[in-house]
Amino acid sequence: MKAFIMTPKEYTPYVCLDAEKGIIEISGKTCPEDAFRFYKPILKWIEEYLSLPKNETNINLKLTYINSASAKKILELIKTTSQLEKEGNILSINWHYEKGATDVLSAGLELSSIAEVPFKYISIN
């Protein structure tokens, strides 16, 4: 499966989806004008990946800002990938946040709670 990479823009994050390494990464500011349209190809790639996933998948969310529409799409991404554990695979969700960015940390805590999936929280200086 081919890797999927999107370069960051003013309102959209860097995205790297690498099936070979079992890595899903979204980094930066995510507040696209149309979150549904922006996340549609990402979620499509994930659906394809789930048909033949690696034994271990790491999701790295390194967000500096997330709006509510993007949070809904990231929640969908998390709920979709959470089926990996139900199938006996290892899923790690790493929520990176800048030290002192309590709003980003709170968003991660809320998403983890709603999705009922544990996150590992990593503070970045």
**pTM, rounded to two decimals:** 0.94
Dump pLDDT digits (tens) for 5-37: 999 999 999 999 999 999 999 999 999 999 999
What domains sit in the chain, N to C, each tagged with a CATH number?
4-124 (3.30.750)
In Å, how far from its chain's centre is CA 111?
11
Dump pLDDT digits (tens) for 40-98: 999 999 999 999 999 999 999 999 999 999 999 999 999 999 999 989 999 999 999 99
d(CA 122, CA 62): 9
d(CA 99, CA 122): 9
Sort 44 into a burial class: Cβ within 10 Å, 0-12 / 13-18 / 19+.
exposed
Reduced to 3 states (helix: H, G, I; strand: E, B; else coil), residue 109 is helix
